[in-house]
Structures are given as C-alpha cells and as structure tokens.
Structure 1
Amino acid sequence: MRRTNVAAIVCLAPLAALLVSCSSGSSSGSSTSGGGGTTISVAASGDTNVQELWQQILIPDFEKANPGSKVNFSFDLHGTNDQQNFAKLAAATQQGKDPGVDLVASFTDKASSAGLLADVGTAVANLANVDPKVVAAGGKGAIPYRASSVLLAFNPAKVASPPQTLDDLLAWIKANPGRFTYNSPKSGGSGQAFVVSVLDSKVPAADRETMTTSYKKDLEKGWDAGFEILRGLNESVYQKGVYPNGNNQVLQLLSSGQIDVAPVWSDQFISGQTAGTIPKSYKVQQIKSPSFTGGAAYVGVTKASKNQDLAFKLANFMLTPEEQAKIADKIAGYPAIAMSKMSPVIQARFESADANNLRPGYFPDHSSDINNQWDQKVPGK
C-alpha cells in the first residue's frame, strides 16, 4: 500500500538516528530554528501510502498554513523498528531526556498504555468532531486522524446477491467451495478481521468488550467454538486449508478472478480501483451480525516533548475537514471526524462502508493470541 519535499526528508532509520539524519531545518529534533519559527519532529511508520500522505500532503499543508514552522519527518517502513523506537522513547522519557520526537504516528497504543503521551485536554479543539468512543479506544493521549475497516469485496458478475450477514457468508462459502479465501491473520488485518468476526459470533458481548480494552487471558476460552467453525471451512476455501500470505495476495486472487468473494481493507480496495489493479465493476459492502472490524489510526504528542503546543497544533490541523478530505483522496482513508462534516462527494464515497460505525478489534495482546491460536488450530486438511 501506500517526492520528498525539502522540509520532510524521509529517513528509514530508528528513532535514535532522527537527530542527525532526518533534520530539514535544524540540527536538533525539537528546537527553535534560526528564523524564529519552531521545528518539531514527527516519527511515523506504516506502508508507503502512509509515507506519501505525510510527505506530500500533511506536512507541506501544515507548514504552508504556519509560516516559520518546520516539521522533521522520520518514517519506519512497515514498522520494522517500532519495538526498538518504543523502547528508546520510553527510556528517554523515564530519564527526563529529550526523546528527539514530538509527535508519534506509530505504536500509539503501547505509548498510551505506558504513559508516554501527553494529556490532550483541550489542546485539540477539533476532537469535538470525532466520536468519543473512537477517541477513547485509542487510550490516554491518543488522537485519531484517519480510519479504515475491513469490508466484503465481491465480483457482482458472479455474485448477484452477496451475503449480508456473517451467517450468510459462512453458508455461501460452503455452498461455493473454492471461491472464497482470507489471508492468515498474522499476515494482515483483513484476514484477522474475518477471523475475529467468526470468533466474536460465539463470544458473550460483555466478554468481548472487556477484551477490546484490556488483557484477560481466561476469557479466551470463549473463542473455542469460533475456531471450530474456522477449521470447518478448510475444505471450502480456495486451495483447501492453505491460506494466502498477506492482504495483497487476497486482492490479487480476487482481481484475477480466481475467487469471487473476500474480506479486504477498505482503503486498499478503493486505492486499487483508482489505480486500475482491481476491476471497476467489483463492489464492497459491510456485513452484519457482526460486522468486520475497523478502527482509527492515531497520533500522540510525547509527554517529554519540549514543543507540545506546536505538536498539538499539527494534530488539530489534521482534523480539519479540508485535511480529512485530502486523506480520503490520497489513501482512501475514512475521515476521523463525523461524516456530516464532510462534503457530499466524500459522504457518497464511503456510504457502503458505514465509516462512522466501526467495530474495534481486540486489545493487542489478545490479537497476538488469536494469531498464534489460529496457526495451531485452523490450517490443514
């Protein structure tokens, strides 16, 4: 998924290298520039589409709107160094040292849980336009700036009446062997969303809610029935018990006509149609009872930052309708703010996705357990 402007030179290096190798207007990560404007440092991770969003849209727009301000940008492709960068941020904060980064756009869930993010308070006025549940799901100090969800994609030439609910989908898979698949949950979020939805269909609602906000290992026994359902699909999925590795492999199988139905990320599907890699005739919709999971991507201002005011100003700027529309255009990300604040064109684009009603995934430790248990219990013949 997914040129470099002079104020945002990309560095695919760990956070510790930020001060010397990702500077664009100052020799330090958080300092006052010679022109009197303030320089802040942003560290992000993800795929190339996210990299381009920051480089080509968010940072240039912010600097233009705030003359004299500069943003240094460090990007960690695919989050390879997320764990290392988190550890360095934690150590710097604990030691009372400058962490070299003012705003993080990666590992915000862990940073929030560890108390490494500054309290937002009233510093981001545009949060008033974001669903409070979405804000709360990110944890203390986390600020949502875009969102996406997993949807059911299908070829209408082969599937005139697509499944509307999870039960409908499970029945369709068995009635149409070889025409559906999903990637292993460890290899991508679209496959994990399908797995989670099947597990959730057998988990008490109160237990499920608890597992989205905290780690309660004993509640995982409620997944047993769902894993049995998933194993029972082995004979019906494409290549019988052998699963694709990653979101893109599923999209390739769908686009080439080898399968007719699959769970896909909303932004990847829309971007693929725009790029011409997915047929324009293909469609997506959300299922019900339960829906596939989705959620927001968050940023956070670091607690140890010396320039929190400007960092919060950047976060607030990203939540304006104008920037939210550009996020939707650039990477097909759902707006984080209420859809009613967006133009009719944007509202129409995400009509079938129910973008303001996203069902959150599990707490990170539970998600890891799902991946490991799926590996043990599901694949095979």
Structure 2
Amino acid sequence: MVISKRLLTVGLAGICTVALATACGPVSSSDAGDDGTDEGSEGTTTVTVFISGDTNLVDLWEQGIIPAYEEANPDVQVDVTLDLHGEHDQQTVAKLVTATEAGDDPGFDLVDAGFVISSAAEAGTLLEVDPATVSGLATVPENTITAGKGVGIPYRASSVLLAYDSTVIDNPPATLEELLTWIEANPGQFAYNSPSTGGSGGAFVTTVLDSYLTQEEQDGLRVGYDEALQESWTPGFDRLAELGASVYQGGVYPNGNSQVLELLGNGSISMAPVWSDQFITAVETGLISEDVHYAQISDPSFTGSASYLGIPRTADNTEGAIDLVNFVLSPEGQTIIAEQISGYPVIALDELPEDVAAQFADADPSALRPGYYSENNDDMSNLWDQLVP
C-alpha cells in the first residue's frame, strides 16, 4: 500500500501488546502547536482522523470528504491515521483509555471505527454529543442517534445483502434456511470472506449463529460483552463447519469484502453476501455486471446499521473535529458518501439532491438489524478461525 502524506499505517501494532498501547499505537502526522492546538504546515490547523476499516472507507476520506472539506476550509489540513480492517482495535481503545485518564491528547481528533459505540463508549473516552453540540444531527432519526449511546455520531449506513447472478439463478433464496440449502445443492458457487477480514462475511456468520439463538440471547450479545452467552454459538459454528465443503473451492474463504466482489465479477461464483454500498459502487464502476442482482433474506435477515464517528474527550482539536463532522453531515458531505461508496444518507432525504434522495428512498438506517457488540464480534471472528476452516 502506498502511504500518502495523509496516511499512516499501523505497522508496528503487531509487535505491541495492549499494555504498550501508548507507546505503539497509531500516530498522527500532525505536530502540536505551542498553544496546544494541532498546526500543520504554514500555520494551518490540523484535524487528525483515525480510521479503522476497509480500503473503501479510506478512499471515501482520502478521495472524497477530505479534499472537499479542505477546499471549503483552506486554513485546515486533515490527516489520517489508519488501522486497515480494524486489526488493532483493542490496542487503540486501550490508548484512548490511557489518554483519557491522563488528560492527554490521544493523537487524533476524530474516530471512524466500529468500537466507537461499544468499548470506547463504555470506557467513557468520547465526548458526549447531541444536536445542540453537533448541529448536523438536527434531521438524523432519533433512533439512529440514540443507538450511538450519547457519544456516537451517525454519518452513513449500509446493510449486507445477498448478491446473485440472475443469468444463473431465477429465484434467489428468500430465507436463511433456503440459502443454506442452495449452497449445499450448488457446491463451489457461494463464497463469503473470513469474518476478521470484512463485515459482509461477518454478517453471514452472525446470521447463521443467530438462527440458533433466542431473541434474548441475540440482544444480550449486542448490548455488551458476555463470554458466557457465546457458548450458545456452538451449534451455529458446527453448521458453518459442515457448510465448508460446499463453499468456494471446497473451503476457500476470500480475504476481505473486495475479493468476494471480484469473484462475483469474474464469474467464479454466482452468489455471495455483500455490503450494499460496495456492491452498488461495483456495479456502477463495471466491476460487477448489471446481471448480478441483490435481495435481502429473512428468518433472520443479514445485519446492517449506521456507522458512527466519535470525538475523544481529551482531543486537542475538538472544535475542528465538530466542524468536520458538521461538514460530513451536510448535504454536500452526505452526497459525497452516497456517490462515492453508495452509503445510505442519515440526514433527511429532502435536504439532498433529488437524484440522491430517489436512490435511497427505501433506506431506513433506524430499522437495520445490528451486529454484535464489538468485543463479542472479535471473539466470534477468532472462534470462526479456530472452528470453521
């Protein structure tokens, strides 16, 4: 991966432990000014964004949001610190906790990561927000804001869907059980990525596990860390292991959401779970044929949710982070998200251009089925690695 002037990859994290988080965690490229605020070159103010996610998320910030924001704010430079695929989230949260307890700047002013509304929120490391402090939240659905636990700032949404080649499949599976039956009846034609490498594969695994759980057990795994409840995953993992012989090449799991899309695009498979935003973008760019359609299953459905930004309580440039967030939640910012990664807008659709509003008329980020609490999700990925391939 090429490292741009904005992008620093967490390369040393693999040799660090949580106890060494403050020494080995992500580092911003900005320098602190004498007055305590971040200053970039030639006296410009710097806002540093920490990103934990896939390459499409990096591209959204690097190629979409940041250039547009900097053009509108020429006295501001936005830098990015990256943890690709979120492989070191626990270390980052540990660093946030340490910085908060010491009253120190954690090295970034804004966080884009799944742990924002789970472990980071529970640890009390993030600034409390509402429409009074972040004006861009004014038209975001209340349920979506509430799901942010008082600190998460929703800025886009998406869901996992079932993509299928319509030239091969006339009637796609409508339920999870029908999907599993189809996979075993059509060996090699279905793929999902290992859950630690991307959320579309994680959603498939979560959905299979949930099919063996009560609603109470599912809810418990979504609201907090519960290792005892994880024992209920055993029959689901057994089912996934049985399924292995029927997936792509008899048990090959792609590395990341993008590789799944590539397999769909070149005809190696005819069905897979995909993120709605990545799939729509892939069709628009020609990576995926228009003959590949999508649907949602039921009993249960695949997961989806809003994604949240968080502002560390002890960040040096809180004011700059809030201003950047308000831009992201503006009609211009939401249009960039919709056009670049096909993310569901979270603000009122009547604030957006008509063509963007029409594209997402049926999207409701407040009604999406959420995934597991961050630490439960990490354990799920680790157990899958041990029990399934």
Into which bin does the TM-score normalised by the smaller protein fall? 0.7 to 0.9
Structure 2 equivalent of residue 124 of structure 1? 134
Structure 2 equivalent of residue 111 of structure 1? 120
Q: How big is the shift at 1:143?
A: 0.8
Indicate if the aligned counterparts of 1:234 and 1:240 stay in contact, CA closer than 8 A.
yes
Q: Deviations over 1:19-44 (max 9, x none)?
A: xx335x96887247899985433333
For 2:236 and 2:90, the matched residues in 1 are separated by 31
- Confirm or deny that 1:62 pairs with 2:59: no
Q: Deviations over 1:129-165 (max 9, x none)?
A: 2233333333331111122221101100001111122
- Confirm or deny that 1:96 pairs with 2:103: yes
Q: How big is the shift at 1:329?
A: 0.8
**Deviating more after overlay: 169-178 vs 341-350:** 341-350
- Confirm or deny that 1:75 pairs with 2:81: yes
In structure 2, the CA distance between the partners of 1:50 and 1:38, relative to structure 1 (3 Å rule), is: same
In structure 2, runs of 5+ residues without a counterpart are 11-23
Normalised by the length of structure 2, the TM-score is 0.83
Counterpart of 1:10 in structure 2: which amino acid?
A: L
For 2:384 and 2:95, the matched residues in 1 are separated by 32
Structure 2 equivalent of residue 284 of structure 1? 294
Indicate if the aligned counterparts of 1:153 and 1:282 stay in contact, CA closer than 8 A.
yes
For 2:193 and 2:42, the matched residues in 1 are separated by 51
Q: How big is the shift at 1:311?
A: 2.1
Counterpart of 1:346 in structure 2: which amino acid?
A: V
Q: How big is the shift at 1:315?
A: 1.4
Q: Deviations over 1:321-345 (max 9, x none)?
A: 2211111111222223355654442
Counterpart of 2:59 in structure 1: which amino acid?
A: E
In structure 2, the CA distance between the partners of 1:256 and 1:306, relative to structure 1 (3 Å rule), is: closer
Q: How big is the shift at 1:75?
A: 2.5
Indicate if the aligned counterparts of 2:187 and 2:248 stay in contact, CA closer than 8 A.
yes
Counterpart of 2:313 in structure 1: which amino acid?
A: K
- Aligned ranges 1:1-381 → 2 under 5 Å: 9-12=6-9, 17-18=27-28, 21-22=29-30, 30-31=37-38, 39-66=46-73, 68=75, 70-78=76-84, 79=86, 82-106=89-113, 107-108=115-116, 109-121=118-130, 122-339=132-349, 341-350=351-360, 357-379=367-389
Q: Secondary structure at the match of 2:302?
A: coil
Q: Secondary structure at the match of 2:249?
A: coil
Q: Secondary structure at the match of 1:233?
A: helix
In structure 2, the CA distance between the partners of 1:201 and 1:151, relative to structure 1 (3 Å rule), is: same
For 1:276 and 1:270, the matched residues in 2 are separated by 10
Q: Secondary structure at the match of 2:159?
A: strand
Root-mean-square deviation (CA), in Å? 3.2
Counterpart of 2:63 in structure 1: which amino acid?
A: Q
Indicate if the aligned counterparts of 1:30 and 1:102 stay in contact, CA closer than 8 A.
no
Overall identity of the aligned pairs, in %: 45
Q: How big is the shift at 1:362?
A: 0.4
Counterpart of 1:118 in structure 2: which amino acid?
A: L
In structure 2, the CA distance between the partners of 1:160 and 1:300, relative to structure 1 (3 Å rule), is: same
Count of equivalent residues: 371
Normalised by the length of structure 1, the TM-score is 0.84
Indicate if the aligned counterparts of 1:338 and 1:356 stay in contact, CA closer than 8 A.
no
For 1:296 and 1:356, the matched residues in 2 are separated by 8
In structure 1, runs of 5+ residues without a counterpart are none
Indicate if the aligned counterparts of 2:119 and 2:375 stay in contact, CA closer than 8 A.
no
Counterpart of 1:173 in structure 2: which amino acid?
A: I
For 1:188 and 1:16, the matched residues in 2 are separated by 21
In structure 2, the CA distance between the partners of 1:250 and 1:61, relative to structure 1 (3 Å rule), is: closer
For 2:261 and 2:74, the matched residues in 1 are separated by 42
Q: Deviations over 1:2-57 (max 9, x none)?
A: x97xxx74344676642xx335x968872478999854333334344333322333
Q: Secondary structure at the match of 1:154?
A: strand
**Deviating more after overlay: 133-142 vs 343-352:** 343-352
Counterpart of 2:129 in structure 1: which amino acid?
A: V
Q: How big is the shift at 1:194?
A: 0.8
Structure 1 equivalent of residue 18 of structure 2? none
Counterpart of 2:48 in structure 1: which amino acid?
A: S
In structure 2, the CA distance between the partners of 1:99 and 1:243, relative to structure 1 (3 Å rule), is: closer
